Amino acid sequence: MIHRPSPFALDKATGNHTNVSTFMKQKIILGLIFCQLLYSCSQDTTQSEEKAQTKAAPAAKKPLSIPYSEIKDLSGFKPTGDNWQEVGGVKANYTEKHHIEIQEGTGIIVNTNDQEKNKHLLTDWEHGDLELDIEFLIPKGSNSGLYFMGRYEIQLLDSWGVKKMKYSDCGSVYQRWDTSRPKGQEGYEGTPANVNASKAPGLWQHFNILFRAPRFDENGNKIANAKFERVIHNGTLIHENVEVTGPTRAARFGDEKPTGPLLIQGDHGPVAFRNIRYKKYHQQELKLTDLTYDYYEGEFRKVPHFDTLTPVKSAKAEGFYPQKHTNSKNYFAIDYQGTVEVPVTGDYIFHIKADEGAMFYIDDSLVVDNNGPHGYRTRSGSIKLTKGSHSLRLGFMQYKWVMGLSVKVEGPGIPLQYFYSEKIDDHNIPPHPMVINPENEPRMQRGFMEVNGNKHTHVIAVGHPENLHYAIDLQDASILHVWRGDFADVAGMWHSRGHSQLMATAGPGVALGNTPDLAQYEGDDWPSASQIEYKAYQLNENRQPVFEYMLEGKVITDHLMPADQKLTRMLSAPGLDDLWVRIAAGTNIEPISEGVYRIDGNYYIECSSSDIKQMSEGDLQQLMIPVSPKAEYSLIW
């Protein structure tokens, strides 16, 4: 039996363990709760014991993560040309080539591209491995690029509506170039984005890119190529583990080295950037040594107080793999103990995913409380660690049925990664998408859908062969989501008996509102509850659904039709007075050109109605037009 001093102390009221340093405080708390119970006869004893349980570090309201560094203005770059400016706002007409308008202020870096000699931007720092999170705006027909280490380019281009992506399209890894190759064959390699996630020109777009620098041995010889481990464009994964054998065309540097500056191309057209954030990573990692485990059997409902128990077996462990350390699927617990070697002093965040329960300690301090029993869930905690050796302890318990444990860590210069564990498959989460697509005619799919954190239960999604799709809530006629590309992922409706019950969009798009689009409106605040009643839908001559709603005994018809990269909505409500449709809602509605509005930088509304009304409710801005007897507007993204 392997025995070490325990960080646990037994809480006899609950059978749970607590940190020794807080044990006396918790005895006092328990005593106060007991006194309170004497005066509260209505309280159930079991409920009282639950309230008396040991309290660990509070769960974070949002996922913990090492914060990004930021580039807020041009001071984060080396001196450059006058084509680069700091501004407070940028607009572009999506129909006019290279059109861009700027507004005074700060927070946005823009290349106006109006100088005879445009220059690039280079950071005043160099990087190796890098995570870049950045927003950009490309006007119609414009072009730019992000050169990692000044050598390896992710292309920026107006690729809106492109059906077959090439190396030169937005998000693609640009090709290499060799003038010594035969004419017409100078360009080679290059990797197109596997999905076109581009938005319309003049809208703000987003990249999250994880780049790994090339590796060199002690003699300076390259032993591994540069790699784009992950490129996410507007929330869609477009690259994964794409290697680049050398600098791409028009790179700042023709050689390869361990580090280099980030370069933003400035000589191919106007472009704007904001919210430039990054994390620089080093080739260091936490190491785990002398890991052992003690294995216990019993019907544990919590991670037990191990030092009061006798293990069934004890052995060395190569990692946190409970499935390898037991032959049973139910009723056991494992006490892992070891030493973690920390490469650099700083704050470290550990993420523990478990079914059914886990408690994680470093130097006898509780870092993560993910105690059971429960299904798969993740809990996180942070701790400041000094360079050197620290004791580690992880208690895991399995009651019955599904079992799993994984540990992730991130820290200063260390990207989020599995820590002596591996990815575990949550049986409630589909391992693969189950995508359905329309073929020669529109396709309708009923189901539940989650939008902006709200679950909608009366949803119909409509997919079109033109690859423009939408989902609508039939309870209140609100358009929930619009997207392009693949239609619907229904794996959540079928996998594991449809545990999540959710269908999801299968292509890139825009999530819209969560409140009614149709209402009788007399100038006050927009109604928060639906006034209409869904009746049915009919298929028109193009097999597109025309929805019918009832209000005051009158019929409202609602038809959405794709054409010219727009989704046009046509409403009719003869005989109904004061019926309006809210065509947009957001915190920033900007007129772009006559009848065209940009909503929060995410999508456009195009409407020719002369009766359009713009109003505000607190921070919320809204656009509305009357329906009686009919109304029409288009969404563009």
Fill in the amino acid letter for 79.
P
Largest CA distance in the chain: 92
Burial class from Cβ neighbours inside 10 Å (0-12, 13-18, 19+) for residue 228 reads buried
Greater confidence (513 vs 249) lies with 249
pLDDT digits (tens, 9 = 90+) for 273-304: 999 999 999 999 999 999 999 999 999 999 99
Mean pLDDT of 62-66: 82
Structural contact between residues 335 and 395, judged by C-beta atoms closer than 8 angstroms: yes
Does residue 40 have a pLDDT over 50? no
Phi-psi region of 601 (alpha: psi -120 to 50; beta: other; left: phi over 0): left
Does residue 60 have a pLDDT over 80? no
pLDDT of the residue at 335: 98
Count the Cβ atoms, other than its own, within 10 Å of residue 310. Answer: 8
Q: Delimit the domains of the chain by residue range.
A: 69-281, 284-418, 435-636
Please state, in angstroms and rounded to a whole number, the distance separating the CA atoms of residues 425 and 222. 36
Structural contact between residues 146 and 153, judged by C-beta atoms closer than 8 angstroms: yes
Structural contact between residues 539 and 527, judged by C-beta atoms closer than 8 angstroms: no
pLDDT of the residue at 533: 95
Cα dist. 98→94, 170, 246, 459 in Å? 9, 16, 31, 39
Mean pLDDT of 564-585: 94
Does residue 103 have a pLDDT over 50? yes
Structural contact between residues 537 and 560, judged by C-beta atoms closer than 8 angstroms: no
Does residue 377 have a pLDDT over 50? yes
Confidence band of 522 (pLDDT split at 50, 70, 90): confident
Count the Cβ atoms, other than its own, within 10 Å of residue 313. Answer: 12
Please state, in angstroms and rounded to a whole number, the distance separating the CA atoms of residues 194 and 338. 43
Cis peptide before 304 (omega within 30 of 0): no
Please state, in angstroms and rounded to a whole number, the distance separating the CA atoms of residues 128 and 227. 11
Does residue 51 have a pLDDT over 60? no
Instruction: List the single range of 83-92, 226-235, 236-245, 524-533 with lowest mean pLDDT.
Output: 524-533
Domain pair 284-418 / 435-636, same fold? no
Q: Which residues contact 163 (CB under 8 A, 6 or more apart)?
A: 196
H or E segment and range at residue 38: helix 23-38
Q: How crowded is the C-beta side of 272, counted as CA atoms within 13 Å? A: 29
Structural contact between residues 492 and 498, judged by C-beta atoms closer than 8 angstroms: yes
Q: Which residue, chain included where needed, has tokens 């679950």? A: 455
∠ CA 609-614-615, rounded to 5°: 150
Confidence band of 61 (pLDDT split at 50, 70, 90): low
Confidence band of 6 (pLDDT split at 50, 70, 90): low
Mean pLDDT of 504-518: 89
pLDDT of the residue at 359: 98
Q: Which residues contact 20 (CB under 8 A, 6 or more apart)?
A: 7, 8, 9, 364
Most confident of 57-66, 114-123, 357-366, 446-455: 357-366
The DSSP code sequence of 324-351 is GS-S-SSSEEEEEEEEEEESS-EEEEEE
pLDDT of the residue at 32: 44
Burial class from Cβ neighbours inside 10 Å (0-12, 13-18, 19+) for residue 247 reads buried
Handedness of CA 317, 321, 327, 329 (dihedral sign): positive
pLDDT digits (tens, 9 = 90+) for 579-607: 999 999 999 999 999 999 999 999 999 99
List the strands of the sheet with 365-370, edge to edge: 313-316, 287-297, 332-342, 388-398, 357-362, 365-370
pLDDT digits (tens, 9 = 90+) for 305-346: 999 999 999 999 999 999 999 989 999 999 999 999 999 999
* Fold designation for 69-281: Jelly Rolls (2.60.120)
Q: Token digits for 542?
A: 């193009």
Closest of 510, 532, 503 to residue 519, by C-alpha: 532
Does residue 374 have a pLDDT over 90? yes
Mean pLDDT of 426-446: 89
Domain 435-636 listed as CATH 2.70.98:
yes
Please state, in angstroms and rounded to a whole number, the distance separating the CA atoms of residues 552 and 573. 11
Please state, in angstroms and rounded to a whole number, the distance separating the CA atoms of residues 388 and 411. 14
Instruction: Indicate the average pLDDT of the chain.
Output: 90
* Fold designation for 284-418: Jelly Rolls (2.60.120)
Does residue 181 have a pLDDT over 80? yes
pLDDT digits (tens, 9 = 90+) for 144-175: 999 999 999 999 999 999 999 999 999 999 99
